[in-house]
Amino acid sequence: MNLEQKINYQLNKYPFIKKGVKRVYQLVWYSISKKVKCEGDVMKMSPDDKENDYFFGYYDKCPWDATGRYMLCMKAKDTWSEPDPLGTAEILLLEIEEYSKGLNGSKGCKVIATTHCWNVQQGCMAQWLGPDFMSKILYNDLRDGKYVSVILDVNTFEERVLPMPCYTVSADGKTALSLDFSRLHSLRLGYGYAELPEVTKGMALPDTTAVWMMDIETGEVTELLKYTDFANFQPRPEIQEPGSVHKVNHLMLSPNGKRFMVLYRWFCGQRKYTRLVTCNVDGTDMYVLSDDDMVSHCYWKNDEEIIAFERKKEEGTGYYLMKDKTQEWKHLWKQLSNDGHPSYCPTDENLVLFDTYPDRARVQEVKIARDDSDEVTTIAKVFAPFKYDNDTRCDCHPRWSRDGKKVAFDSTFEGRKGLYVVNVKK
């Protein structure tokens, strides 16, 4: 842990002071640093629009359809004022070949849906629905006073409404997992939805459902795990501390859909603890995969291995590749100690994509590396304006194309949020 990280760790106890110190620190360094706007083979995919923000969403979902002909994109008026905005956002379909002929026009770009619940980090979970990933999309919405998910046929525009919003969906398009987006809004701005009140408000450790499973084909919903199930499983003293506040986040199904990972987090005052837990899709066979207080962004390499940015007491903070249901792990790229959003290339089992948060000169990077090598390559650098910061920051959230030849990411280096693509030279 370097000096900056040590100071940041201490300032986590005082979040309001941390924001001020961070802003002054970055302003000073930005004033004396080399100015970078954009470097790399980067192409803008969203409209050249100075009045709206465009983005896709989270790093664990692919904006391209199976043919590579179309991309999904979201459009919103403002993504810098509120992390979980009220109001609507539009879902766009970009026909890449037509759209690339004239980025300033509307040709090849059309609105296919409008959502009433979204946030600035993950959008409305818009994604192509398997198993074909080309005929239907799925997204979350607010209908008749309830959070739901909607399956939309992009050819006929017929839709089917499911009774729960989705957080993660299996590759075969049959199973989804969900959580309490209202509690998430209360405890982690930028990741929940603000339209409906939190039922568990004021409850530090609710004895209520934390994770649901939904059969996408039938719409049947099953309650899988409660917050108390997580708290009572291999308990630690910090978990049982009176008044500690508990939540779950970042559900992700394995490629075969048989297990899922979840970050179980609890707060003791301003101190945050995180466990990485894996579980069968029916809620059985829970396993604590990582329990050294800090786990951030994760991704399934395959059905048995998970990459995560986390802390290991033995070696410190960094990227680790772990084998599920064991304590076997490998420390990757030991020269890296800064958080990012990792994902594995769909056509190369050892190639990893990830990004960085803005450095002290407000520069973000998109990188690729192999988990069987120490070499790390930067494929893009972009400036992060101060306008988008803290809970309304714009993370790059890089995502692979399905053929592994391109990477899409969000950025604000042109002054408004946009969707960009960079070619990956193998």
Instruction: State both tokens at 121.
Output: 């980090």
Residue 256 has pLDDT above 70, yes or no: yes
Q: Are 192 and 184 a contacting pair, CB within 8 Å? A: yes
Q: Are 349 and 301 a contacting pair, CB within 8 Å? A: yes
Residue 349 has pLDDT above 60, yes or no: yes
The pLDDT confidence band at residue 9, using thresholds 50, 70 and 90, is low
Residue 22 has pLDDT above 80, yes or no: no
Q: Looking at residues 337-355, what average pLDDT do you find?
A: 97
Q: Who's near 23: CB < 8 A, 6+ residues apart? A: 386, 389
284 vs 183: CA distance, rounded Å = 24
Instruction: State both tokens at 127.
Output: 């994604």
Average pLDDT value over all residues in the chain: 93
Q: What is the pLDDT at residue 104?
A: 46
The pLDDT confidence band at residue 195, using thresholds 50, 70 and 90, is very high
Residue 102 has pLDDT above 60, yes or no: no
Q: Give, as one character, the DSSP assignment of residue 41.
A: S
* Alpha-carbon Rg for the chain in angstroms: 21
Give, for 159, the enclosing helix (H) or strand (E): strand 159-162
Between 203 and 35, the more confident residue is: 203
Q: Looking at residues 273-297, what average pLDDT do you find?
A: 98
Q: Count Cα neighbours of 87 within 13 Å in the Cβ-side half-sphere.
A: 12
Q: What is the pLDDT at residue 99?
A: 58
Q: What is the pLDDT at residue 93?
A: 97
Q: What percent of the chain has pLDDT over 70?
A: 92
Q: What is the pLDDT at residue 94?
A: 95
Residue 201 has pLDDT above 80, yes or no: yes
Which domains does the chain possess? 40-423 (2.130.10.10)
* Least reliable range by pLDDT among 89-98, 153-162, 308-317: 89-98
363 vs 37: CA distance, rounded Å = 8
Give, for 121, the enclosing helix (H) or strand (E): none
Residue 13 has pLDDT above 80, yes or no: no
Q: Who's near 338: CB < 8 A, 6+ residues apart? A: 356, 357
Q: Looking at residues 62-87, what average pLDDT do you find?
A: 97
Query: Which segments of 12-78 does DSSP mark as H helices, in order?
Result: 15-32
Cβ–Cβ contacts within 10 Å for residue 14, how many? 12
Strand partners, 252: 261
Q: What are phi and psi of 27, to 5 degrees?
A: -60, -40
Q: In terms of Cα–Cα distance, which of 339, 383, 333, 381 is closest to 357?
A: 339
Q: Looking at residues 34-40, what average pLDDT do you find?
A: 86
DSSP readout, 355-422?
Answer: E----TTSEEEEEEEETTSS-EEEEEEEE--TTS-GGG------EE-TTSSEEEEEE-TTSS-EEEEE
Torsion, CA 339, CA 225, CA 235, CA 271, rounded to 10: 40
Q: Looking at residues 309-320, what average pLDDT do you find?
A: 96
Per-residue pLDDT reduced to its tens digit, 371-401: 999 999 999 999 999 999 999 999 999 999 9
Q: Are 73 and 56 a contacting pair, CB within 8 Å? A: yes
Q: Looking at residues 336-361, what average pLDDT do you find?
A: 96
Q: What are phi and psi of 258, to 5 degrees?
A: -90, -25
28 vs 299: CA distance, rounded Å = 35
DSSP E strands in 208-253: the ranges are 209-215, 221-226, 245-253
C-alpha 297, offset from chain centre: 8
* Least reliable range by pLDDT among 63-77, 100-114, 173-187, 224-238: 100-114
Question: Alpha carbon of 414 to those of 46, 114, 271, 275, 304: distances in Å?
Answer: 12, 25, 36, 37, 40
Residue 2 has pLDDT above 70, yes or no: no
Residue 178 has pLDDT above 60, yes or no: yes
Residue 108 has pLDDT above 50, yes or no: yes
Q: In terms of Cα–Cα distance, which of 318, 244, 310, 313 is closest to 277?
A: 310
The pLDDT confidence band at residue 25, using thresholds 50, 70 and 90, is confident
Instruction: State both tokens at 52.
Output: 């709206």
